[in-house]
Amino acid sequence: MIRVRERSQAPAEVPAFTIIAMMRRSSVFFAVLLFGLAFTLVSRQPNPDPRLKKAYRLPEQHGWIQVHLEGTPAQIGFQHGYLLAPEIKDDYLAISTEMTHEEKRDWAYFRKLSQDMFWPHVEQEYRDELNGIAEGLKARGVALDLWDVVTMNAWLELPYYDKWHDKMTAPHVTSTGSGPADHCSAFVATGSYTKDGRVVIGHNNWTSYSSGERWNIIFDIAPVNGNRILMDGAPGLIHSGDDFGLNSGGIIITETTISNFTGFDPNGIPEFVRARKAMQYSNSIDDFARIMTEGNNGGYANNWLVADRKNNEAASLELGLKNVTLLRTRDGFFVGSNFPANPKLIKEETDFDPSDKSKSENARHIRWLQLMEQNKGRIDVAAGQRFLSDHFDTFEGRMDPSERSLCGHIEMSPRGMGTWQAPYAPAGAVQNKVTDAAGAEKMSMTAALGHACGIGYKAQEHLAKHPEFAWMKDILHDMPARGWARFTAK
């Protein structure tokens, strides 16, 4: 067999124009291939729902999620449910777990109340919005229905019904539920008390750390009727819930609850409907007082602090079921820390002791009065932010973060807070907001998640020390202090 040895040969040179032509053909081929692939991928995507056309969700900022909702009530609701579907599903888990544990009744009981007692008194505009939220959730594959959504919205006032119902049906038996809670610290100042003579208003939300850590939505709502709204809120709620917001009509609103309140009217309009309507349709303090008072059911009874940036007027609306007190000023302040003020309201509609200075509500009230006078003529947004981080305990006369400080830390308190929270309960201030007339003119406010003082909360460390709260382990998260950020309606 003869083997032939091939001689190596250098490849022949290819002319440059041939290489260029080959590259061009390849580029055209790949361009066509990529275009065809892109067309295939796009064609497989579902057509976007036209109801989402004007809505959007911005990237998180300091833990807050800002969403823009715009259109008819049904469109706004659908946008809300669709854009915040994961957060609503998560918030439902926290709310339903807390409610069933604290009120000693199952979720089906609250759904039935929402359907039978609240729904008949919800006007059509907000029925459409609530239905829209349920439809948006369904479009994202979340298995929550209309009655779950309504119950989430009624969450804060359902304990008022429970307390009233138990008292009516068994007056000599102590209620098994925790009853209405004491939420929030707030102030509004104007005239000679503020740096520029115009209104400044601030608020921090007090609640459990499980639900409060989820209270991180900035809603920018442009409805077809009424004013544009910028407000904080929890996912799934058509109202702010902790009630801090401003509108394009010049009204800025916040509140703190009235402690130990006992009244309720099952035939009244739900508080969540009146609060949202007032945020949307108020162009004056008179508008606000009228909307909140008409059909008042006594649920989630609050002392409302309101400001009109157009004339720098501030007001306090203490809204009991029987006793309603509206106070106004253009040179002064109002503060809130869950203390009832009207002696007649205290006697007829609460079980509150205004003389006990060791109580959180009274200690914080005293501290507010001190801060307002000490800072007279210098109150601005920065001062408001400092107020909400304050740790001074007026009963002890020293710095001590607890249920008696404006920046509430019930998790550090051996006393707890009455029937609402046991000693060392994971609860207190969960987020903060401050704005002034200049900011409100621009539809803008500052906000901070977590404690304004900068102290973070570590869930697992706390549960290890206090296993009595182990029932919260699946819903209780860390709550870091995020710092202040500014949010504006885009």
The strand pairing partners of 307, in sequence order, are 252, 314
Q: Which two tokens stand for residue 420?
A: 């609402």
| Local confidence band at 257 (pLDDT 50, 70, 90 cut-offs) | very high
| Residue ranges in 200-249 assigned as alpha helix (H) | 209-212
Cβ within 8 Å of residue 68, ≥6 positions away: 54, 55, 56, 57, 58, 220, 221, 222, 489, 490
How many CA atoms within 13 Å lie on the side-chain side of 31? 6
Q: What is the pLDDT of residue 367?
A: 98
| Local confidence band at 169 (pLDDT 50, 70, 90 cut-offs) | confident
What is the arithmetic mean of pLDDT over 417-426? 91
Q: What is the pLDDT of residue 172?
A: 61
Q: Which two tokens stand for residue 321?
A: 């079921």
Give exposure, 48-82, as e/b (b: 16+ Cβ within 10 Å).
eeebbeebeeeeeeebbbbbbbbbbbbbbbbbbbb
Q: Which two tokens stand for residue 363?
A: 């200690």
Q: How far apart are CA 319 and CA 322, in angstroms?
A: 8
Q: How many CB atoms lie within 10 A of CB 395?
A: 17
Q: How far apart are CA 396 and CA 403, in angstroms?
A: 12
Q: What is the pLDDT of residue 174?
A: 53
What is the arithmetic mean of pLDDT over 366-384? 98
Cβ atoms of 456 and 450 closer than 8 Å: yes
Q: What is the pLDDT of residue 28?
A: 40
| Local confidence band at 222 (pLDDT 50, 70, 90 cut-offs) | very high
Average pLDDT of the residues of the chain = 91
Q: What is the pLDDT of residue 48?
A: 83
What is the arithmetic mean of pLDDT over 276-284? 98
| Local confidence band at 16 (pLDDT 50, 70, 90 cut-offs) | very low
What is the arithmetic mean of pLDDT over 224-248? 98
Per-residue pLDDT of 19-60, as tens digits, reads 334 444 444 444 434 434 333 333 344 568 999 999 999 999
What is the arithmetic mean of pLDDT over 430-443? 98
Q: What is the pLDDT of residue 178?
A: 59
Cβ atoms of 281 and 226 closer than 8 Å: yes
Q: What is the pLDDT of residue 167?
A: 87
Of 90 and 172, more confident: 90
What is the arithmetic mean of pLDDT over 161-184? 75
Per-residue pLDDT of 49-68, as tens digits, reads 999 999 999 999 999 999 99
Per-residue pLDDT of 385-416, as tens digits, reads 999 999 999 999 999 999 999 999 999 999 99
- Whether residue 4 is predicted with pLDDT greater than 50 in this model: the reply is no
Largest CA distance in the chain: 122
Q: How far apart are CA 49 and CA 134, in angstroms?
A: 15
How many CA atoms within 13 Å lie on the side-chain side of 439? 24
Closest CA to 489 of 443, 422, 433, 451: 443
Residue located via tokens 């503060």? 335
- Type of residue numbered 456: G
Q: What is the pLDDT of residue 182?
A: 76
Q: How far apart are CA 414 and CA 238, in angstroms?
A: 36
What is the arithmetic mean of pLDDT over 450-468? 98
CATH number for the domain running over 65-70+176-488: 3.60.60.30
Q: Where are the domains of the chain?
A: 65-70+176-488
Q: What is the pLDDT of residue 351?
A: 92
Per-residue pLDDT of 288-343, as tens digits, reads 999 999 999 999 999 999 999 999 999 999 999 999 999 999 999 999 999 999 99
Closest CA to 328 of 438, 191, 229: 191
